[in-house]
Structure 1
Amino acid sequence: MHETESGLLYAIYYPVLAAVGIPANIAAIMILSRGKCGLSKCTTYYLVGMAAADLLVVITGVILNRIVGIYFSASYMSITPVCSLQIVFIYASRDISIWLTVAFTFDRFVAICCQKAKAKYCTKKTAAVVVWTVFVLSFLQNMPWYFKFEPLYIIDEMPWFCHTKPIFYSAPLWVIYSSFNCIVTPFIPFFLILLLNGLTVRYIVVANRARRALCRNKNLENSKDPELENRKKSIVLLFTISGSFIVLWMTFIVHFLYYRITYTYSYMGYDDPIFILEEVGYMLLLLSCCTNTCIYAATQQKFREELKNSLKYPLTWIVQFLQC
């Protein structure tokens, strides 16, 4: 891929991603907040939190970082303190999005597999505590990134751009902090999502067999079982969200492992396969922040109905206004 071709691709991809991601996540927040999608208050709170986190990722990672970097490379967003703070927000919003996906996966695991703990844990109050704790801890954890950078240029006593300090690669505290972040994000979330989904699948297979056997004994084989139907809806929503996360983050994780193992911190050019792998990983990572609304629309009938009503309302208002 030549420099001009890759630059054109990025110049088109990120604005399209922002144009889709901003309204999609705002629509998800508004529709889910009404509580008319047939989901529990606990589930709704997690999904609203995830949509808010994804919206924050689109604003910081796509608009302020990628789009501004492509179209306004010498703007005031490139002043070193602003640039450093922007990096903190990008990493924090990314971590919030990841860990809320883990929290939602764990909540569904408890709701499906741990019936005794469900009444105490799967509540709106618990969800609120978990969501806000993730938000606060993610920002606190990523604050040290602000001190990772130094100015690349100083023009008229103004520091410009963010250049990684050489000490970052050798200082023990930075090495420990960087390694800690590598473990916390994305490897632990990735492992937990796979583990929890595996345990959930195992529980459902066993429970469904027992349920069907009970139905056969009661001659209810042909009748609909509300318990199985509800369980099926929860699983479809859980697995599509978790599966989307795993697929779209896989490329980023592969590159992450490669450059950490081989210490590849620079590239030969835009044609370098490792550079292309890194950029594709970021593109898919940012895309994951726009997919949840599509997942809700594909898997939840009531969400689709609310979305249609939301889209119809402005058109209806315009028609009524014109008829006056």
Structure 2
Amino acid sequence: MLSRSSTFYLMAISVADNLVLILIVVLELSVKYHQQEPFWSYEPWCNLRDIFNYGAYNSSTWLVVVFTVERFVAIHTWKMKTKICTSKCAAWTITAVFLLSHFFAIPYYWSNVSVFENNQTRCIYKPEAPSHFIHALVWCQTLQAYILPFLIILTLNGLTLRLISLSNRIHITTDSTSRVHKVMPLMRSRKRKSVVLLVTVSMSFVLLSVPRAITQIILRTTHMYTLDRNDYNLKINIAADTGTMLSLSNAAVNMYLYVCTQSKFRQQFLACIRQVTFYCETKL
């Protein structure tokens, strides 16, 4: 049940996830704790940083969404599958996701400013920026990165599981026909594998992203917005960083989840381990 278009989506998700890990985990978070004045503390990187960061994160998020839609179509209807689940459609969709994700992140260019305080250059939110502008950025990001993807993924997963349940009932009632008896188990097996992949990928994204979504809404829309984010005596800072860690870990484990749900990958992986073990035993 995995089409060639699914391969395109998985490759695109892999690229987006690696961009998230490189831009956010390595160049922002890791460098932050090893340098007093990272390169993105200065202009123009201070203004461009969040465009690339949110662009990469939103690309990773919406690629999971369109992959969920593609799997939903492939499982539910064969007529739409021939039009939507194609390599050409996948390529155009992936391109649109990357472009739109970075386009909607452009307003962040005007949200940051490089300042020199206490003998140190830092990149911070503009103090003179209107509060409604900051709140609009936060809610737009929350809407496009969390709320809408969550609703789409949960809805499609629910409909998919409902279809699988109904197909099982149909199989039981039509089991007296020998032809159906031979065909249906194969279809059920293929659908089950596809559903395992779909549910594993999408639900792991939802579960790992929920803590960050909640903490970011609390931080950015209440009086806590003015708190020192480096003060870890405050519980909200610990909760926010934990949510960020869980959200970013989704980008780190995504491809492992994709490949480990495939039986052929597991077979090849075990064969490789056996070959390595045999090689080491012969050398020793």
Say whether the fold is shared (TM-score over 0.5): yes
1:70-85 correspondence to structure 2 within 5 Å: 70-85=33-48
1:304 equivalent in alignment to 2:266: yes
1:286 equivalent in alignment to 2:248: yes
Alpha-carbon contact 1:88-1:142 (below 8 Å) kept: yes
Per-residue displacement from partner, 1:196-231 (whole Å, max 9, x unpaired)? 111111122112211232224439769972101100
Alpha-carbon contact 2:73-2:81 (below 8 Å) kept: yes
Letter in 1 for 2:141: N
Corresponding residue number in structure 2 for 1:102: 65
Tell me the distance in 2 between the aligned counterparts of 1:222 and 1:111.
21
Letter in 1 for 2:146: P
Letter in 2 for 1:164: Y
Alpha-carbon contact 1:212-1:221 (below 8 Å) kept: no
Per-residue displacement from partner, 1:5-33 (whole Å, max 9, x unpaired)? xxxxxxxxxxxxxxxxxxxxxxxxxxxxx
Corresponding residue number in structure 2 for 1:262: 222
Per-residue displacement from partner, 1:70-91 (whole Å, max 9, x unpaired)? 1123243432321332222111
Please report the RMSD computed on the Cα atoms of aligned residues, expressed in angstroms. 3.0
What is the percentage of aligned positions where both structures have the same residue?
32
Unaligned runs of 5+ in 1: 1-37
TM-score where L is the length of structure 1: 0.76
Query: Equivalent of 2:155, from 174, 195, 200?
Result: 195
1:155-304 correspondence to structure 2 within 5 Å: 160-170=121-131, 172=132, 175-218=135-178, 225-267=185-227, 269-304=231-266
Corresponding residue number in structure 2 for 1:25: none
SS state at 2:113 partner: strand
Corresponding residue number in structure 2 for 1:67: 30
SS state at 2:33 partner: helix
Tell me the distance in 2 between the aligned counterparts of 1:238 and 1:263.
39
Per-residue displacement from partner, 1:65-124 (whole Å, max 9, x unpaired)? 111111123243432321332222111110001000100111111111133211111111
Q: Give the superposition deviation at 1:180.
A: 2.6
Structure 1 residues 306 and 266: CA distance shift in structure 2, 3 A: farther
Per-residue displacement from partner, 1:263-305 (whole Å, max 9, x unpaired)? 4214462021111110001100110001122213431121234
Corresponding residue number in structure 2 for 1:91: 54
Alpha-carbon contact 1:95-1:185 (below 8 Å) kept: yes
SS state at 1:215 partner: coil
Tell me the distance in 1 between the aligned counterparts of 2:166 and 2:196.
17
Corresponding residue number in structure 2 for 1:24: none
Tell me the distance in 1 between the aligned counterparts of 2:102 and 2:274.
38
Alpha-carbon contact 1:267-1:275 (below 8 Å) kept: no
Per-residue displacement from partner, 1:20-51 (whole Å, max 9, x unpaired)? xxxxxxxxxxxxxxxxxx94211111111111
Letter in 2 for 1:279: D
